[in-house]
Chain A
C-alpha cells in the first residue's frame, strides 16, 4: 500500500488546513484507527472523489476499503446498511448531496428505523457536498437537511469551520447511529477558514451548538456557510449601529440543541433564524416553535427568519444571488427586530 498522502498530513506538519482537508484528515485518521471503517461512493477511489476529499485513500487503504461503486445511491447506501449489520462501519459519499434522493427510501424506511425495529444499531455515515453560490444550478447546489430532519433515528450535522468539520466527522464515524454530514462546497477551500488544527485526536460532540459570537441584542441561530454571512452582518451592526448580535452555530441539526438556543433567547429576547435552505418547511419553523414552547415569555419581538426563496436553485449568477440569503438581508432583519 502507498504511504500517507500529503493532503492528510498537514496537521502533522503543523500547516493550516482547509475545511476540505480537515474532512480528509478526519476520514483518514478514523480509517487508520479502526479497520472496520471503509468507504463506498462514486469516483472516490482512482479519482479521489469529485472534490478530491479522498485523494490518495485508494493507494493507502486498497480497493477493499475504498470502493468505487456504480452510480447507484440506493444500492450502495443499502449495502452500507448491510455491512454495518455485520459489524463494519461504512462511510458513503454522495458525489453531490442533490443525488441522495434515490436513497431516500433506504435511508428513511430501512436505516432510520433499524434500531427501533429491533434490527440493531446502524453505525454508518452518509456525507457529501451541499450548498449554493457556486453556479452549480438546480442539481449541484441543494441543501438536503429538511428531507431527513423529519425522520426520527437519523442525526444530521453541518460544519462551518475546519476544526468542527474534522471533529464532527470523527464523532459521526464513532457514533452508533446513522449520521448524515452536509459539507458546504463554498467552505471547502475558502482561504479564510484555513487554520492549524490540534495535533491530538479530538472530536466535536454531536448535538451541541456553539456560540460563535456573544451579544445581548439579538440571537441569530444559523449553520453552515450562513454562519459566516451572519458574522459579517454582525460586524456591520456592531460598527454602524452599536448593536450586538449573538450568533449560534448549530453544528448538529438533528438532534437539535434547544438548550443552547433557549438559553440565548432568554438573554436577548429576540430570535432570527438564518438558513441557506429554502423557506417553507425549513428548520426555522421548528426552532421558532421550540422557542415558543420553552421561552415565549422572554420574547420581546416576533421570531423571524432569513432564508433562500422557495424555488429550485437557479444557475445564472444574478438569479442565484437573488435566490440566496445575503448579508444585507440579515442586517435588514436584525435592524427590524432591534427597532421592534
Chain B
C-alpha cells in the first residue's frame, strides 16, 4: 500500500493516521523479530554464511520505505536495499519467508541458493538486490532512475549504503552522474558510524556526509535515524522533490550500528559506554513510548502488533528450515541466457576430457 497522507482529517502526526502509525510500529518490530529469529537459526547451525543485524537502525529502513509508492506490479518506486535494511525490504513486499530462504540457502529462495541474505531482486515490487561493493549500487540506481526520467515514469529510486561506501570511487561517480542527469534518485546514507571495524573519523574529515552531496550540487539533509517519523518525513521531502523533477538528493540517517559487522564480529573495538548511550535511544522503544504518551496506541495494541510480527517471522522461519537445499548441479545454470557452464569432464558418466 502506498503511504498517502490521509485527507479525512484523521492525521495525527507527519500526515499519518493512527492505522499508519501502527503499520510503522509493526514494520519495526517485524524487522527486529526476523533478525532475532535469524540469530537463533545461526546458532542452531542453519545459516552457512554471515548474519547481519540492523539493531538500532530499523527506523531508518522502515521510515524510508514508508515514504515510497509501494506497488507489486512494477509501476511503483524502487529501492536497492542493504543487509541493514530488511525493514525496508519487507515493507516493499519482500517476504520474510524469502528472507529466511536466502540466509538458509534454500533451493526455493529467490536466487535458488546462488546468492545470500537480502541480495535478491523483485522488480515488480521495486527491489534491486545489491552486490557487496555497495558504492557500485549508486551508479546502478542512477541508471535505473535515469530510465524513469527518459521514459517519463513518475517513479523514484532509493539506494542505501553505509559510511564505508562513501569512500569509494564508484559512489562518487554514480552520485555525480545522477546529479548532472537530474535522476529521480535519493541516496539513503546509513551513517551508523562504522565501516566494519573502522570508525567514521578514520574515513572522513567531514562532520556530516551531507557535505559530500553538496559537493555535487545535490540537496541533502540529516535525519535522526532512531526516530522513524523523522526518517519518514525527511525521506518524503527528498522523494517528493525527486518525483517533481528537481533531481537527485541524499538523506543522511544518523544512528549507530549496535552489533558487529556480522555475527562473527564481537565488537571488541567498541566502547561499551557508547553502546549504552545508543541502547537508550533504541528506535522501537522510542517510537513505542511516543505512541503511548500521545495516546496513539495502548500497551495492549502494541503487544498485539509485536505478537503478530513474531508469529509471522516464526512461521516463515519454520517453513524455510523445512525446505530443501539446491542440488549442486544447478551451479551450472544461467551463466548466460543462452548457455550454462559446462559439466566438469571428471564428473561425466564416462570421464572424457574431449568433452570438457
Contacts and interface: CB of A to CB of B under 8 A. Distances in A.
Contacts, number: 151
A82 B181 CA distance: 14
A176 B339 CA distance: 12
Interface stretch (B27-35, B115-123, B255-263): B115-123
B170 A82 contact: no
A80 B143 contact: yes
B177 to A, nearest CB: 4
B335 A106 contact: no
Interface stretch (A12-20, A70-78, A326-334): A70-78
Contacts of B170: 74-75, 78, 105-106
Interface of A: 38, 64, 67, 69-70, 72-88, 90, 102, 105-106, 109-110, 113, 115-121, 152-153, 155, 176-177, 255, 290, 293-295
A118 B128 contact: no
A290 B355 CA distance: 10
B133 interface: yes
Contacts of B143: 78-86, 90
Nearest to A68: B180
A171 to B, nearest CB: 12
Contacts of B180: 70
Given A74-B169, A75-B173, A86-B148, A118 B110 contact: yes
B144 A85 contact: yes
A72 B131 contact: no
Contact of B337 (A90, A109, A113, A115): A115
B111 interface: yes
18 contacts: A70-B173, A72-B176, A75-B177, A76-B139, A78-B174, A81-B140, A83-B150, A85-B143, A87-B147, A109-B136, A110-B136, A116-B334, A117-B114, A118-B111, A118-B112, A119-B121, A155-B336, A293-B354
Interface in B139-182: 139-148, 150-151, 169-170, 173-174, 176-177, 180-181
B356 interface: yes
Most chain B Cβ neighbours within 10 Å, of A86, A120, A121, A294 = A86
A85 B112 contact: no
A121 B128 contact: no
Q: Enumerate the 4 nearest inter-chain pairs by beta-carbon distance, A residue then B residue, closest first.
A: A78-B139, A82-B143, A75-B173, A79-B143
Most chain B Cβ neighbours within 10 Å, of A90, A105, A118, A152 = A118
Given A75-B174, A116-B114, A293 B356 contact: yes
A153 B341 CA distance: 10
Nearest to B80: A82
B339 A79 contact: no
Most chain B Cβ neighbours within 10 Å, of A64, A72, A90 = A72
B138 interface: yes
A86 B121 CA distance: 12
A67 B181 contact: yes
B242 to A, nearest CB: 15
Interface of B: 110-112, 114-115, 119-121, 123, 128-129, 131-133, 136-148, 150-151, 169-170, 173-174, 176-177, 180-181, 334-339, 341, 345, 353-354, 356
A83 B147 contact: yes
B82 to A, nearest CB: 15
B341 A152 contact: yes
A76 B140 contact: no
A80 to B, nearest CB: 6
B353 A293 contact: yes
A109 B133 CA distance: 8
A204 to B, nearest CB: 16
A70 B177 CA distance: 7
A88 B151 CA distance: 10
Given A79-B139, A110-B140, 12 more contacts: A38-B150, A74-B169, A75-B142, A82-B144, A85-B140, A106-B140, A109-B133, A117-B114, A117-B119, A117-B121, A155-B336, A293-B354
Contacts of B173: 70, 72-76, 78, 102
A125 to B, nearest CB: 14
Contact of A75 (B110, B112, B131, B176): B176
Contacts of A119: 121, 128-129
A290 B345 CA distance: 13
Contacts of B339: 255
B336 A82 contact: no
B353 to A, nearest CB: 5
B341 A118 contact: no
B97 to A, nearest CB: 16
A160 B119 CA distance: 40
A88 B147 contact: yes
A75 B147 contact: no
Contacts of A295: 354
A106 B137 CA distance: 9
Nearest to B116: A117
Given A70-B176, A74-B169, A115-B334, A82 B129 contact: no
Contacts of A73: 173
Nearest to B337: A176
A69 B338 CA distance: 32
A67 B341 CA distance: 36
